[in-house]
Amino acid sequence: MKTRILAVGAALLFSAAPVQAGNLVYQAVNPAFGGSPLNGSWLQSEAQAQNIPQAAQQRQQQLFSTGTSRGGISTLTPGQIFAQQLQSQLYGSLANQITQAIFGENARPSGTFQFQGTTIQFIKVGPDVRVTINDGQTSTEVIVPASTP
């Protein structure tokens, strides 16, 4: 019992000691604002990595510039928004059908799907499924496990 009282007393004694703290000093990272000049190349490479390539930016502008313009910002018409949502739903439904054909209850060992110039082929190879997507210009191959253990 005495040791417990001594331990509590010692804890109170040490917790009542004065606390020391230093000042927080702001250090700029960007050399333009007083930061280290050694950070310049790192900041430049980060900025370049975030830039959208000009060709992709032009494609993006072409996609969204078909609507009316308000204050320099292009907007889509309600018809265009509906068409985009409908197209998204159709692609989602198609992706569901393909997934069911590959992994569903009555999964097939191989198959081919074609739509709008895109060909999707799949074949089960051992424990994996090899899916090849060809859009006429590029071909992408994905290998996924056929089942989870």
Domain boundaries, the chain: 78-149
Shortest CA distance to 80 belongs to which of 90, 62, 70, 66?
A: 66
What local confidence, expressed as pLDDT, does residue 103 receive?
A: 82
Backbone angles phi, psi at 101, to 5 degrees: -65, -30
Q: Which two tokens stand for residue 54?
A: 């000009």
Q: pLDDT at residue 50 above 70?
A: yes
Amino acid at 34: G
Q: pLDDT at residue 9 above 70?
A: no
What local confidence, expressed as pLDDT, does residue 75 receive?
A: 78
pLDDT band at 26 (very low <50, low <70, confident <90, very high): confident
Strand, helix or coil at 113?
Answer: strand
pLDDT band at 56 (very low <50, low <70, confident <90, very high): low
- To the nearest whole number, what is the mean pLDDT of the chain? 77
Query: How many C-beta neighbours within 10 Å does residue 54 have?
Result: 8
What local confidence, expressed as pLDDT, does residue 19 receive?
A: 64
Residue 114's alpha-carbon distances to 24, 77, 111, 122, in angstroms, are 63, 30, 10, 12
Query: How many C-beta neighbours within 10 Å does residue 128 have?
Result: 14
Residues in the chain, overall count? 149
- The highest-confidence range among 5-9, 65-69, 124-128, by mean pLDDT, is 124-128
| Alpha helices (runs of H) in 18-125, residue ranges in sequence order | 40-50, 54-64, 78-103
Please tell me which residue, 102 or 18, carries the higher pLDDT value: 102
Q: pLDDT at residue 112 above 70?
A: yes
Give mean pLDDT, residues 77-87.
88
Q: pLDDT at residue 104 above 70?
A: yes
- Are 130 and 122 in contact by the 8 Å Cβ rule? The answer is yes
